[in-house]
Amino acid sequence: MAIQAEKLAALLREQGSEVVEVRTNGASGQGGAMARIPGVRSIINLARFLRDLDSALRRTDVVYFLSGFFNFYFWVTFPALLLIYARRKPVVLSARGGDAARFFRRYGKLVGPVLRRVDKITTPSGFLRDVFRDAFALEAQVIPNIADLDQFEFRRRDQFRPRLLVTRNLEQIYGIDTVLRAFALVREQHPDATLVIAGGGSLRAELEQLAAELKVDDAVTFHGPVSHAQIQRLYGEYDIYVNASRIDNLPGSLLEAFASGLPVVSTRAGGIPYMVEDGVTGMLVAVDDHQALAEQVLRIIDDPALGLALADAAYAESQKYARKNVAPQLVNLLAQHARP
């Protein structure tokens, strides 16, 4: 969310807007020794954030507030919205995260009355738009995340080797265990298959053990966290992108694969079906179905024409998220709601 906020601020400045950024996380060392106590640190950060927000409200015509829907909402979004309402400033809420539906089922009666007072809600995908519609009968506007696609080079492939790439963190929600089980099936058909997993996370040791149990550890590389330069190189070196997330919204990694010419095989978790059209811009399977994941990877390997068609259509889809196409939508929306 922080990275997307930085991109949005830069985009608005490019369009001639004056932007006042207010960060939710305090500077390290702020608050002295007491700030090292977790609960106290949160209170200090909240007080600092609300102070900075109140100062910024005196200089702004409209607030564009990025919010996830988990504990962040109660610690940050809720008090911030109350302050914004008290200062009578228009606010556009940019909703983030793939688990909002569950959050709303649990806390909808508390959250709904506050959200209904915002001037407009935006979401990066049709998935989250529908979540707001179903939970609160609120109509959100879809404004895609900004994807820095220019840094990724589209490479047309005549064939798709069994060289698979994953660029997700090693956490339960991203289903790397499902990818490993699918890869084991792919390797039965293609003994020369390789898999690179680029990302860090708490499950690395557990996943390395699973790779060994599946007898594929000699063909799997756990790359760890990667730089932008490294990830661009990986997209160029590998041929098929695999994603097995269990909870998701609009993963930027899929857009990067689109822009780089890799056909995508993914689970249909959360908002993914809103950005990947099954059989057109990628292949979708059920969550946790490693056998179906492997079958779709094998289809692309065995049918290069299919892989090429998917890659071409996906590249065209990725252009919807380019800065030049997102900028006018955001600028026009904020201009509509700005009020000195």
Model confidence band, residue 28 (pLDDT cutoffs 50, 70, 90): very low
Rounded Cα–Cα distance for residues 179 and 193 (Å): 13
Q: Say what the pLDDT of residue 39 is.
A: 63
26 pLDDT above the threshold of 80: no
Rounded Cα–Cα distance for residues 48 and 98 (Å): 28
Give the pLDDT confidence of 250-300 residue by residue, as tens digits.
888 999 999 999 999 999 998 899 999 999 999 999 999 999 999 999 999
Torsion of CA 295, 298, 300, 301, to 10 degrees: 180
Mean pLDDT of the chain: 93
Q: Which amino acid is at 106?
A: R
Give me the sign of the Cα torsion angle 244, 249, 251, 257.
positive
Q: Say what the pLDDT of residue 38 is.
A: 60
List, in sequence order, every beta strand (DSSP E) within 190-234: 194-198, 220-224
> Residue with structure tokens 């090429």?
308
State whether CATH 3.20.20.80 applies to domain 149-321: no
Model confidence band, residue 59 (pLDDT cutoffs 50, 70, 90): very high
Give me the sign of the Cα torsion angle 268, 161, 193, 229.
negative
- For 325, the token pair is 């196409």
Rounded Cα–Cα distance for residues 79 and 42 (Å): 13
Percent over 70 (pLDDT), the chain: 96
Among candidates 117, 119, 115, which has minimal Cα distance to 128? 115
Looking at 3.40.50.2000, 3.30.360.10, 3.40.190.10, 3.40.50.2300, the CATH number of the domain 2-146+322-337 comes to 3.40.50.2000
Domain boundaries, the chain: 2-146+322-337, 149-321
User: For 257, what's the count of Cα atoms within 13 Å in the CB-facing half-sphere?
Assistant: 27
Torsion of CA 322, 141, 335, 10, to 10 degrees: -30
Q: How many CB atoms lie within 10 A of CB 14?
A: 11
318 pLDDT above the threshold of 70: yes
Q: Which amino acid is at 229?
A: A
Model confidence band, residue 35 (pLDDT cutoffs 50, 70, 90): low
Q: Say yes or no: do domains 2-146+322-337 and 149-321 share a fold.
A: yes
Give the pLDDT confidence of 151-168 residue by residue, as tens digits.
899 999 999 999 999 999
| 49 contacts 26 by C-beta, under 8 angstroms | yes
Rounded Cα–Cα distance for residues 125 and 155 (Å): 27
Identify any residues that bridge with 93 across adjacent strands, giving them in sequence order: 65, 121
Q: Say what the pLDDT of residue 40 is.
A: 75
Model confidence band, residue 145 (pLDDT cutoffs 50, 70, 90): confident
Q: Say what the pLDDT of residue 330 is.
A: 93
Q: Is 224 helix (H, G, I), strand (E, B) or coil?
A: strand
Average pLDDT value for residue range 211-218: 98
Average pLDDT value for residue range 179-192: 99
Q: Say what the pLDDT of residue 29 is.
A: 47
Q: 150 Cβ partners below 8 Å, 6+ apart?
A: none
